[in-house]
Amino acid sequence: MLTLADAEGYIDEAATALAQGNVYVSPEISDSAALAAKLDQQIGDSSVAVAVFSSNAALEGSSTEILRDLAAPADPGVPTYDTVIVAVGGDLVAGSNVLPKGEAMRIANEAEASAGSLDAALTETVQRVVAATPADSGQTGGVDGGLIVGGALGLVVLVAAGGALWAVLRRRGRGGAAGHHAPLPDTVRPLVGRLRALSGEYAAAGASGNRDATDVATEIVTVANNTTELFDRLGRKGDEGQRATAAVEYGETLRKLTAALDRDYLLDILQHPDLWDDPVDRVREVRTALTSFSTELVENIKQVNARRGLHFQVSLDGLIGRRKELQEWDRAFERADGDAGPSSHDD
């Protein structure tokens, strides 16, 4: 059994490696040398550092704590990087002081949600971070330790929302690439990725004292995690018929839920209630829908465990139908998805 004493040194070992190059992959990771070479090639001369640990490193600290330690090394002689990406087991986090606040974390969340393996998630995160980095940013480092305390890294505003929230936001790692969930259905995967990205935006709003935003961030992560868990369990049980039905049902409901939670609706209402009619009622409507959907997810997971049929009882048609703004979002989504026919919510 691995003890805390045995785990001491993961961060130091990574910091030493990152003082010499952009990539550290723990030897406990399968094919560590090949993964390190692949990531190094993707980074090129960008000021991006990547550290990949087995789940054992969690004994030294959470993913975000390790990220902060590597982004702001105590030794002033150790180089710093504009963007730092850390994986602990299957848990991927990132922070940057050259991308917009929270952007690196959003990229990491979406990559983790859509990729089928840790290798693929890391590669996608590096590629997108490098592509998004401004051309005039430094090539040899630049994450200043003092700036991190003030919130230069996009992740820090989330940390300010409270350690308990982070525990929920990042409780997804399951022991490395082999522990990743099976890929989500195409109707569900992009929506779960969008929800994970929105959770960061709500957490950022909550860091300024907006308790409702903090609570919604936690609820969104719970929904994203349980959606992934439901489809993973359906896949392991081998019931492709139920999985296909769930993909259709949950794809539709998640689409409507995402519309209500998106930054142009609930997030904006929470941040600017004075600019909306009936803000209290609107917030209550969306939060009730979110809670109902989350409850149904848990019930369906229990039904899968008991090998019973799934029941889809929660419909968000009423929520969409009550609000013209959400009807328009729903129609736009259908058009973008290639559905040129009339929406079922047309007046």
The answer to whether 259 and 271 are in contact (CB under 8 A) is no
Question: 105: which 2 tokens?
Answer: 């974390």
Q: What is the pLDDT of residue 287?
A: 92
Q: What is the CA radius of gyration of the chain?
A: 21
Q: What is the pLDDT of residue 49?
A: 92
More confident call, 312 vs 57: 57
* Whole-number Å distance between alpha carbons of 301 and 229: 8
* Whole-number Å distance between alpha carbons of 222 and 206: 17
Q: What is the pLDDT of residues 21-64, one digit of tens each?
A: 899 998 888 888 889 988 988 888 888 999 999 887 877 777 78
The answer to whether 118 and 174 are in contact (CB under 8 A) is no
Question: 264: which 2 tokens?
Answer: 């142009």
Find the length of the chain.
347
Which of 27-31, 170-174, 186-190 shows the lowest per-residue confidence on average (mean pLDDT)? Answer: 170-174
Nearest alpha-carbon partner for 155 in 215, 214, 203: 203
Instruction: Return the SS3 of 133.
Output: coil
Question: 45: which 2 tokens?
Answer: 């001369």
* Whole-number Å distance between alpha carbons of 44 and 129: 12
* Whole-number Å distance between alpha carbons of 213 and 196: 14
Nearest alpha-carbon partner for 15 in 49, 61, 39: 49
Which of 175-179, 200-204, 207-211, 219-223 shows the lowest per-residue confidence on average (mean pLDDT)? Answer: 175-179
The answer to whether 7 and 57 are in contact (CB under 8 A) is yes
Q: Given the DSSP bridges, would you call strands 83-88 and 91-96 parallel, antiparallel or unpaired?
A: antiparallel
- How many C-beta atoms lie closer than 10 Å to residue 131's C-beta? 9
More confident call, 115 vs 345: 115
* Whole-number Å distance between alpha carbons of 102 and 114: 18
Q: What is the pLDDT of residues 276-295, one digit of tens each?
A: 988 999 999 999 989 988 98
Which of 72-76, 112-116, 248-252, 340-344 shows the lowest per-residue confidence on average (mean pLDDT)? Answer: 340-344
Question: 221: which 2 tokens?
Answer: 């992560």
What are the angstrom distances between the C-alpha of 182 and each of 88, 161, 170, 175, 189? 18, 31, 18, 14, 11
The answer to whether 329 and 262 are in contact (CB under 8 A) is yes
Residue 340, pLDDT above cutoff 50: no
Q: Is the pTM of this model over 0.95?
A: no
Q: Which run of H or of E encompasses 105? A: helix 103-114
Q: What is the pLDDT of residue 134?
A: 80
Q: What is the pLDDT of residue 56?
A: 79
